[in-house]
Amino acid sequence: MLSDADYFLVETTDQLLDYSAVFGNDNPVYIEIGSGKGEFISQYPLLHPDKNFLGFEVRRKRINNILKKIDPQQHPNVRLIEVLVDEKISLILPAASIDGCYIQHPDPWPKRRHHKRRLFQAEFLKALASILKPGAFVQIATDHEEYAQWIIREFAGCDLFASVQEDPISDEPHLSDHVVTFFEREQRRLGFEPNFMMYKRI
Ligand SMILES: C[S@@+](CC[C@H](N)C(=O)[O-])C[C@H]1O[C@@H](n2cnc3c(N)ncnc32)[C@H](O)[C@@H]1O
């Protein structure tokens, strides 16, 4: 019998992902990078059954946590990929194939010597732009002020994206059906408010 892990986990190969084969339909595909404990990827797709969602998460323990929150009957539009996302995402997903990307509380790597581990780097943004359809959005939240400024600078240096607002940082989520993640809840409890950003692929 197929286990939930077999059902939800998508293996990467040297071929680009075939969404029709993975989801069994041609609905638009959205990605979440760093699904964590799975609040977003277990709750948001329920509100959008006509869209497909691919959650990327590098840590196996977190994937196991997410698997406890989803089941094939309620979440036929969800799949997970266990991988550390970087610029090689363009070797996993086809060009101009993704309608939107959600990145909530990416690891801030606060020490200067660890900044090179940050997800938002010029090469990653170029690769992200290449897999997004024109007009697709990237929604980001971080409570880490210095990382928020870093992210804005990285996007400002990339002419493939534009902020949807003049001030790229908002203290309110752009989505009316925003899902509060574990990390957002914990950080708010400690007094740290999220900075929300929304960019469009030009
Ligand atoms: C600070 S947590 C936030 C989790 C969740 N998004 C939330 O808001 O609660 C960051 C998560 O992203 C995962 N992660 C960090 N960098 C990643 C990457 N490059 N690719 C995939 N997952 C990543 C970590 O393992 C962790 O689960």
- Which tens digits make up the pLDDT trace of 50-68? 999 999 999 999 999 999 9
* 122, 130 Cβ separation under 8 angstroms: no
Q: Kindly give the distance from the C-alpha atom of residue 168 to the centroid of ligand 1, in angstroms, as a whole number.
A: 22
34 lines ligand 1 (CB under 6 A): yes
In this prediction, residue 104 carries a pLDDT of 98
> Ligand 1 centre and the CA of 25: distance in Å?
28
Question: Does residue 2 sit within a domain?
Answer: yes
The residue whose CA is least distant from atom 24 of ligand 1 is 34
pLDDT tens figures, 71-88: 999 999 999 999 999 999
Do 112 and 75 belong together in one domain?
A: no
What residues of the chain score a pLDDT lower than 70?
none
- CA 103 – CA 89 distance, rounded (Å): 14
Task: Determine the distance separating the centroid of ligand 1 and the alpha carbon of 72, expressed in angstroms.
Answer: 23
Structure tokens at 100: 């939107």
Q: CA nearest 98: which of 69, 133, 128?
A: 133
pLDDT at 1: 78
Give the model's pLDDT for residue 194.
98
Token couple for 16? 């680009």
pTM of the entire predicted model: 0.98
Q: 56 with 33: CB under 8 angstroms?
A: yes
Establish if 98 belongs to a structural domain: no
Determine the distance separating the centroid of ligand 1 and the alpha carbon of 1, expressed in angstroms.
30
24 contacts: CB under 8 Å, gap ≥ 6: 76
Would the CB of 82 count as within 6 Å of ligand 1?
no
Residue 182 counted as domain residue:
yes
Q: For residue 190, count CB atoms less than 10 angstroms from its CB and return exposed for 0-12, middle for 13-18, buried for 19 or more.
A: exposed
- Number of domains forming the structure of the chain: 2
pLDDT at 18: 98
* Distance between Cα 160 and ligand 1 center (Å): 24
Q: Residue 164 is part of a domain; what is its CATH number?
A: 3.40.50.150
Residue of the nearest CA to atom 23 in ligand 1? 34
Do 102 and 139 form a contact (C-beta atoms < 8 A)? yes
Domain-ending residue, one of 36, 51, 84: 84
Q: Say if 99 falls within a structural domain.
A: no
Segments forming the whole domain that contains residue 79? 1-11+26-84
Given 18, 107, 159, 171, the catalytic residue: 107
Pairing outcome for strands 29-33 and 98-104: parallel
H or E element: which one contains 131? helix 122-131
Residues 195 and 118 in one domain: yes
Mutation probe of ligand 1 site: the residue of 10, 37, 103, 107 with most atoms within 8 A of C-beta:
107
Q: What span, in angstroms and rounded, lies between the C-alpha atoms of 90 and 14?
A: 11
Look up 107 and say whether it is catalytic: yes
User: Tokens 């996993």 map to which residue?
Assistant: 92
- What is residue 2's predicted lDDT score, i.e. its pLDDT? 82
pLDDT of residue 187: 97
* Minimum-distance ligand 1 atom for the alpha carbon of 141: 8
Taking alpha carbons only, the member of 164, 133, 11, 132 closest to residue 82 is: 11
Same domain, 32 and 121: no
Same domain for 68 and 124?
A: no
**170 bridge partner residues:** 196
Say if ligand 1 is within 6 A of residue 201 CB.
no
- Same domain (yes/no): 74, 113: no
